[in-house]
Amino acid sequence: MQARLGLLPLDISGVSLGRVKRAREEPFDRDAAYMLPTPDTSHVAYERVYEPAEDSFLLLDTLSSATETAFLQTRFGEGYAPLVVEVGPGSGVVIAFVNAQAQALFGSRNVLTAAVDVNGYACKATGETARKAALENATTHGSFLGALQGDLVAPVRDRLVDVLIFNPPYVPTPELPKQPRQADLPALDAKPSFDDDSYMLSLSYAGGRDGMETTDRLIDSLPQVLSTKGCAYILLCAQNKPEQVKQRILGFGEAWKVATVGSSGKQAGWEKLQIIRIWVE
Amino acid sequence: MKVLSLNFLTCAVKACKSSSNSYPLHPKDAELVQDDLEVNAQLLLNLLPRIDWTALSTTATELGFPALPPQAPSVEELQSDEKKLRDLHNLLMETQIMEGKLVCANCGHEYAVREGIANFLLPSHLV
Ligand SMILES: C[S@@+](CC[C@H](N)C(=O)[O-])C[C@H]1O[C@@H](n2cnc3c(N)ncnc32)[C@H](O)[C@@H]1O
């Protein structure tokens, strides 16, 4: 944690400190409060993979809320096997949760889950988190297909994804870190240097202009990647100008809908973080 | 990565997307492991309509599995044939590619698979 804070550019350290402090100020037993257990990520190396934080937990709480489970169950009724793809799974806490709790979220275990992260260590961590969570929830889990390394949805065939989840690098930064090519990241069996680790962590939070450069690219790909039943859950922070983002999505066409379905951290009347659900009707 | 994944993946090079040659990717020097998982018949039945059978047949043959029938079984056929269900379950769900490469027949690029993770990040000249 120390190392991670040390890496943050000065102008955003407040955001992250706030998040860390919040977690400490409000020690409560999430699992007792929400019933569905949070996947174990104790094996994850947080010096190079994003540590689950308030944003991650907001996704868990939103996806398992009564309104969203009702939405998912109505949309993907019996006789269908929805494909859930998380982009940027980091530790894997979110997709492992969705996979382990398929029965509670979708009302069925006939659910396929997969993930794509630009950081290979995150892919490895995600595989392990998903495996552990499925073992602990032996009677409710879906089928985790695997985590692969890549840029957003580039390797995924068109019009296949039923539920896309993205907690993006959303912090506004003067520049977006260089988007990695194959040679820019250490091989999985190499020992990453301190600079490698800093780079991988910067990819996890730094979002460039308005914190939206990566999220914008993902949003642009939605019409191509989502199935006819498809929907997407994307996390935004207040600096991302959520209202503008929503307007842009509505501009895709009349069938496109968007709603805020989860939020946390009210600050001076603003939601610090929110989850928007995007779907086609 | 489970073999089923290959049915959902294609070459990450933009210019390849429109070519039918870029799908499915072709496994090369693949090292496989077999998990031992309970059969979920309903999942396989639900899955059937969304599987590209021609691509799956290619993948199965290239991985050294017995040839699949040219046509996908109907839901009824699959439902009533325990062995077919079990074989499909074994291929799609229990078999994982751990090491090797996935090759695009259009651009020739080889995506490495290490520790079960395929790397679809592109070298600079292909972006
Ligand atoms: C804010 S973290 C979220 C991690 C995890 N989903 C969570 O909620 O705790 C963002 C993740 O997106 C990944 N990422 C950043 N840019 C990406 C891209 N272009 N394609 C795929 N993943 C990306 C990062 O490596 C990081 O794991």
The predicted-structure confidence for A157-186, as pLDDT tens digits, reads as follows 999 999 999 999 999 999 999 999 988 999
How far is residue B73's CA from residue A105's CA, in Å, rounded to a whole number?
Answer: 30
Residue A2 is which amino acid? Q
Nearest-neighbour CA in chain A from B36: distance (Å):
13
Task: Report CA(B122)–ligand 1 centroid distance (Å).
Answer: 18
Average pLDDT over residues B84-104: 97
pLDDT, tens only, A109-155? 999 999 999 999 999 999 999 999 999 999 999 999 999 999 999 99
Q: Which chain A positions have a beta carbon within 8 Å of B10's beta carbon? A: 155-157
Cis amide leading into B27 (omega within 30): no
For residues A80 and A106, is the Cβ–Cβ distance under 8 A?
no
CATH code for the structural domain at B3-126: 2.20.25.10
How many Cβ atoms from other residues are within 10 Å of residue A100's Cβ? 28
Residue B52 is which amino acid? D
Tell if the CB–CB gap between A157 and B9 is shorter than 8 Å.
yes
CB pairs under 8 A between A and B: 105
Q: Which long-range contacts (CB under 8 A, 24 or more apart) does B80-87 make?
A: B85/B39, B85/B41, B85/B44, B86/B39
pLDDT, tens only, B12-49? 999 999 999 999 999 999 999 999 999 999 999 999 99
Q: Look at A8-22, A179-193, A243-257, B10-24 and tell me which has the smallest mean pLDDT.
A: A8-22
> Which candidate from B47, B114, B123 shows the least CB-CB separation from A181?
B123
Nearest-neighbour CA in chain A from B35: distance (Å):
12
Pick the CATH number of A2-280 from 3.40.50.150, 3.40.50.620, 3.40.1350.10, 3.10.20.30: 3.40.50.150
Q: Look at A6-20, A60-74, A263-277 and tell me which has the smallest mean pLDDT.
A: A6-20
Tell if the CB–CB gap between B121 and A147 is shorter than 8 Å.
no
Whether the CB of A185 is below 8 Å from some CB of chain B: the reply is yes
Angle, helices A54-63/A93-100, rounded to nearest 10 degrees: 20
Tell if the CB–CB gap between A155 and B117 is shorter than 8 Å.
no
User: Which region, left, alpha or beta, applies to residue A191 given φ > 0 means left and ψ of -120 to 50 means alpha?
Assistant: beta
Atom of ligand 1 nearest to the CA of A170: 1
- Residue A11: the pLDDT is 39
Average pLDDT over residues B75-88: 95
Residue A82 is which amino acid? P
Q: Please give the order of strands across the beta sheet that includes B95-103.
A: B26-34, B95-103, B110-114, B117-118
Percent of chain A predicted with pLDDT > 70: 86
- Residue A78: the pLDDT is 85
What is the residue-averaged pLDDT of chain B? 96
Q: Give the residues surrounding ligand 1 with Cβ less than 6 Å away.
A: A 50, 52, 55-56, 59, 87-91, 93-94, 116-119, 122, 151-152, 167-169, 203-205, 214
- ipTM value, please give it: 0.97
Question: How big is chain A by its Cα radius of gyration, in Å?
Answer: 18
Nearest-neighbour CA in chain B from A209: distance (Å):
22
Instruction: Report the chain A residue with the minimal C-alpha distance to residue B127.
Output: A181
How many Cβ atoms from other residues are within 10 Å of residue A189's Cβ? 7
Instruction: Report the chain A residue with the minimal C-alpha distance to residue B94.
Output: A145
Residue A252 is which amino acid? F
Domain chopping of chain B, boundaries: 3-126
Q: Which chain B positions have a beta carbon within 8 Å of A187's beta carbon? A: 114
- Residue A77: the pLDDT is 85
Q: If you take atom 7 of ligand 1, which residue's CA is the nearest one?
A: A56
Average pLDDT over residues A252-266: 93
> What's the pTM?
0.92
- Residue A34: the pLDDT is 56
Residues contacting residue B89 through CB under 8 Å, at least 6 positions apart: B37, B39, B40, B44
Tell if the CB–CB gap between B123 and A154 is shorter than 8 Å.
no
Tell if the CB–CB gap between B4 and A112 is shorter than 8 Å.
yes
> Which candidate from B5, B47, B124 shows the least CB-CB separation from A114?
B5
Residues contacting residue A173 through CB under 8 Å, at least 6 positions apart: A9, A12, A206, A207, A208, A211
Q: Report whether pLDDT(A268) > 90.
A: no
> For tokens 């074994």, what's the residue?
B90
- Residue A25: the pLDDT is 44
For residues A238 and A263, is the Cβ–Cβ distance under 8 A?
no
pLDDT band, residue A13 (cuts 50/70/90): very low
pLDDT band, residue A189 (cuts 50/70/90): confident
